[in-house]
Amino acid sequence: MPYLGNYQTGELKSKPRLTRINGDDNAAVIYRNLGNNHAYPFIFADTFTVVSGATTVVLASGIKFHGYDLATYGKIAVTPAFDSGAYYITKDSSANVISFTCTNAGASDGSSTVDVLFMLGEDAEVDGLYCRGNRGAAPSLP
């Protein structure tokens, strides 16, 4: 057993090499199943209402999974269902708050909605994402 604990060298904890990806039957969420009753959502969606006259809506506040806070490690895709004019996302990493701001407040009846897709994780290194069978731009493998 000379290699016992070899995978934990230089790391605080070992990283799983294979995880199961599961979806929910009813909720708009995809989560990683790490085994032993440990799972966390890494892609989830929600719909927010922009009240007439308001230009800023808080999309997420205080969301954190296994040491990853959403304001720092989150990737957000926003699709307004109304003519929002110019819009942008504000991430406050110190308070862990994500806000949506638009120049046009939307419909006067208050029914303006915004669809938001959240994805949690660190930035990907695209050069390292390859496999033997993709026949795309990849390093020459034996």
Q: What is the pLDDT of residue 1?
A: 46
Which of the pair, 23 or 99, is modelled with greater confidence?
Answer: 99
pTM of the model: 0.69
Closest CA to 19 of 7, 39, 33: 33
pLDDT above 90 as % of the chain: 18
Q: Kindly indicate the confidence band of residue 105, based on its pLDDT and cuts at 50, 70 and 90.
A: low
Which of the pair, 17 or 140, is modelled with greater confidence?
Answer: 17
Which of the pair, 87 or 38, is modelled with greater confidence?
Answer: 87
How long is the chain?
A: 142
Q: What is the mean pLDDT of the chain?
A: 76
User: Which neighbouring-strand residues pair with 97?
Assistant: 61, 92
pLDDT at residue 68 greater than cutoff 70 = yes
Exposure on the CB side of residue 72, measured as CA atoms within 13 A: 10
pLDDT at residue 30 greater than cutoff 60 = yes
CA of 31: how far to CAs of 14, 35, 38, 110, 122, in Å?
20, 12, 10, 32, 16
Q: What is the pLDDT of residue 17?
A: 62
**Who's near 56: CB < 8 A, 6+ residues apart?**
99, 100, 101
Q: In the numeric block, which tokens belong to residue 100?
A: 């949506």
Q: Cα–Cα distance between 15 and 6 in angstroms, integer?
A: 12
